Amino acid sequence: MSANVSHTPLLRVEGLQVAYGHIEAVKGIDFELREGEITALVGANGAGKSTTLMALSGLVKPRAGRFLFEGQDLGQLKPHERVARGIVQVAEGRAMLTTLTVRENLELGAYSRPGRKAAAGELERIFELFPRLKERLDGYAGNLSGGEQQMLAIGRALMAKPRVLLLDEPSMGLAPIVVQEIFRTLVSINRSGLTILLVEQNVRQALRIASQAYVLETGRIVLQGNGRALLDDPKVQAAYLGG
């Protein structure tokens, strides 16, 4: 980033604190997403990554903090109202509606944004990204492989026409080759202009594709910077990359 260019963030979180009873899961964090970029939030199990995403989606109520989207505080909005603004979290791959077909799952994604119906053009775009979903369009989601279910989950979220796509560990439980494929697709979706917040325990893969990244440890951000630069950081290597 050159010093004389000012980036107004699309989304900014200030002083976010979330607690479950006496457990302080997120202890006052600040971060921002620049429009059109992939931002990664990485860290070990229990660091507070999912809690942070749930706070953005409106699924947990923060104890403190502000959530600004295009400069507007959306902290009081209900989950469906945030979706309507374009803040869309990808469901967990395994949480696809297994007794519905691939097509029905995708159509549900479109309906998750009020007043919308699936347009044929959107389905075509998703088939370009995930040709296998097209082949299996009338099959039950429950018969898909883990990787295909993750693709369907992403496709369903895209049907809601997000402005920001939030993903919680899309690599979880998938074979390395499938993870590569999912991450390649995220890069391709991002190149088409979509802003992405990627939460990952797979630190290496996430930092490879992120322009900005934050490292979360027990509810606090301990490092931040360019994804590639963090990959080369000795502290990150020692703690997360087995270096």
Interface residues with ligand ADP (CB under 6 A)? Answer: 20, 23, 25, 43, 45-51
- Which CB atom, from 60 or from 126, has the smaller least distance to Mg ion? 60
The least CB distance from residue 190 to ligand ADP, in Å, is 22
Q: Which amino acid is at 203?
A: V
Q: How many CB atoms lie within 10 A of CB 122?
A: 19
Q: Does 50 bind Mg ion (CB under 5 A)?
A: yes
For 70-100, b where at least 16 C-beta lie within 10 A, e where not — what string? eeeebbebeeeebbbbbbbbbbbbeebeeee
Please choose, out of 46-54, 79-87, 138-146, 225-233, the segment that lies near Mg ion by the rule CB under 5 A. Answer: 46-54
Nearer residue to ligand ADP within complex by CB, 4 or 45: 45
Residue 43's contacts (CB-CB under 8 Å, 6 or more residues apart) are 49, 201, 203, 215, 216, 217
Pairing of strands 23-34, 9-20: antiparallel
Instruction: Rank residues 51 and 190 by Cβ distance to ligand ADP and give the closer one.
Output: 51
CB of 228 to ligand ADP, least distance (A): 23
Integer angstrom CA distances of residue 128 from 118, 190, 192, 224: 16, 14, 12, 34
Helix (H) or strand (E) holding 118: none
∠ CA 204-208-214, rounded to 5°: 75
- Note whether 57 binds Mg ion by CB under 5 A: no
Specify the residue, 126 or 206, whose C-beta has the smaller distance to ligand ADP: 206
As measured in angstroms, the least distance from the Cβ of 47 to ligand ADP is: 4
Shortest Å distance, C-beta 226 to ligand ADP: 22
* Residue 185 binds which of ligand ADP, Mg ion, none (CB < 5-8 A, kind-dependent): none
Shortest Å distance, C-beta 99 to ligand ADP: 27
Q: Which amino acid is at 26?
A: V
Choose the contact partner of 46 out of ligand ADP, Mg ion, none; CB within 5 to 8 A by kind: ligand ADP
Binding site for Mg ion (CB under 5 A): 49-50
